[in-house]
Structure 1
Amino acid sequence: MIGLWHWLTSPATWSGSEGAWALIGQHLGYSGVVMGLAALIGIPLGLWVGHSGRGGSAVVNLVNGMRALPTLGLLYAAVLVIGPQLSGSAAFQVPAIGVLVILAVPPILAGTYSGIDAVPPDAHDAATGMGMTGWQRLWRVEVPCALPLILSGLRSAALQVIATATLAAYVGLGGLGYFLQLGQGARDYPMMAGGSVLVACLALVVDLVLAGVQKLVVSPGLSPESESSDR
């Protein structure tokens, strides 16, 4: 514990191009790109499946199957297969980001589909009775009702991506996983423990930020706190 404290409080840990601040920036950069791409895939697909009612069981099976994939093995395989087709840093960045997107899509897809699927039938009937089209019903009724579960899926995906992005260091992409890789090679256990603490703290901060966003954008009547108080 003393060694961990000295490592965390040492100025050398935080300064330079391989210091903690720079690596946190890299980690957030990769995670942000991955989350953006995963949301572009998972949210529209979840909206379509939930709204149309088609392929719900296939989505559940797909999500469960993708969650069982061995991330590190898939990362190395992607680098070996896709990397030679690219040049420069893209040979490592593209496979790593692709694998992390595969990891992030399932919770986003599941949250979006579950949210749309859970919209009460009364809300559908009321929207239809008001003469809304299917498109209007989706965006004016279903998406607002499903927003808590959609954002929960995004929060779950963000936590998984931030935790798993540490593996990117093993193919030379930096991020906070660099401390784990370097510490493992040098048997510097305070560095490994410190890297783990930084990853956990970063995940916690991001989750708190997303929780704040969720509280701001979700209608009070749809929040989990409101539902529990109604009971």
Structure 2
Amino acid sequence: MSAVEQAVRWLNDPLNWTNPGGILDRLGEHLSMSATAVALGCLLAWPLGLWLGHTGRGGGLVVLVSNVTLAVPTLALLTILPLTFLGFGRPAVVVALAVFAVPPLLANAYTGVRQVDPETRDAARGMGLSGGQVLRRVELPLAVPYLAAGFRTATVQVIATAALATFVNGGGLGEIIRAGFGLSIASGGGQILAGGLLVAGLALLAELVLALIERLVTPRPLRPARRRANRRAGNAIAGN
């Protein structure tokens, strides 16, 4: 029996879905730590990116932070962080994945504010709005396409990378792959392939759902800007 046939048979076994530690349990763990990591990344990156974009003085810092965080392999962070007070398990995984999520979130937040038409910004100031009000009422709404593009990119990357959590006892769908490697290739190849397909399928589903949500929350006049933001995000991924 080929690995593909084994994977199909493994996925079609109801017990592999419902047993403790099965697909449903691992899927819940995977989604939980991915969502927590992206939320933490948003809390760190969005306020900083929006403020630096508003002041127009942090372009170099944004590039530096993005390059540094992208240069550090996630697997290296997963190896180092468990040796700190975080210990082995999910906290170390969440922090490592949050660091991985920061670059697209930070860069797109900064770019989104900087792309606002200067005349629009000047008109808002001419109406008597303070700097904070300009940011909240004018720049932030117009930056939505870029924020959405960064969120989508970060989420898909985190979901795909969270499979590495298994190396530090973090749970998730990667546990299915690791368990397959614990067997012989003849008997575990199908489980390894099935685990990989589950991770890839979840990342693809997240991409499709977030693309739809991104389109729905972006006003029609801002959709060209959303497409430009997606192209920028794609080019950044390709360049790295």
Aligned sequence identity (%)? 41
Query: Which of 26, 29, 54 is the equivalent residue of 1:26?
Result: 29
Aligned equivalents of 2:198, 2:211: Cα separation in 1: 20
Aligned equivalents of 2:118, 2:8: Cα separation in 1: 55
Aligned equivalents of 2:227, 2:212: Cα separation in 1: 18
Counterpart position of 1:192: 192
8 Å contact kept, 1:24–1:176: yes
Aligned-pair CA distance for 1:197: 0.9
Higher relative contact order (CA 8 A, sep 6+): 2
Aligned-pair CA distance for 1:131: 2.1
Query: Which of 55, 58, 61 is the equivalent residue of 2:58?
Result: 55
Aligned-pair CA distance for 1:227: 7.3
Counterpart position of 1:165: 162
Aligned equivalents of 2:114, 2:226: Cα separation in 1: 20
Counterpart position of 1:180: 177
- The aligned runs of 1:131-150 (5 Å cut-off) are 131-150=128-147
- The Cα RMSD (Å) is 1.8
8 Å contact kept, 2:69–2:100: yes
Structure 1 unmatched runs, 5+: 85-90
Counterpart position of 2:11: 8
Counterpart position of 1:205: 205
Aligned equivalents of 2:16, 2:151: Cα separation in 1: 31
8 Å contact kept, 1:145–1:222: yes
What TM-score comes out, normalization by structure 1 length?
0.90
Structure 2 unmatched runs, 5+: 229-240
Aligned equivalents of 2:71, 2:6: Cα separation in 1: 36
Q: 1:12-33 deviations in whole A, cap 9, x for unaligned?
A: 2211121111111110010111
Aligned-pair CA distance for 1:83: 4.3
Aligned equivalents of 1:214, 1:70: Cα separation in 2: 29
Amino acid at match of 2:222: L
Aligned equivalents of 1:185, 1:100: Cα separation in 2: 25
Query: Which of 53, 70, 75 is the equivalent residue of 1:72?
Result: 75
Aligned equivalents of 1:225, 1:74: Cα separation in 2: 34
Aligned equivalents of 2:227, 2:103: Cα separation in 1: 26
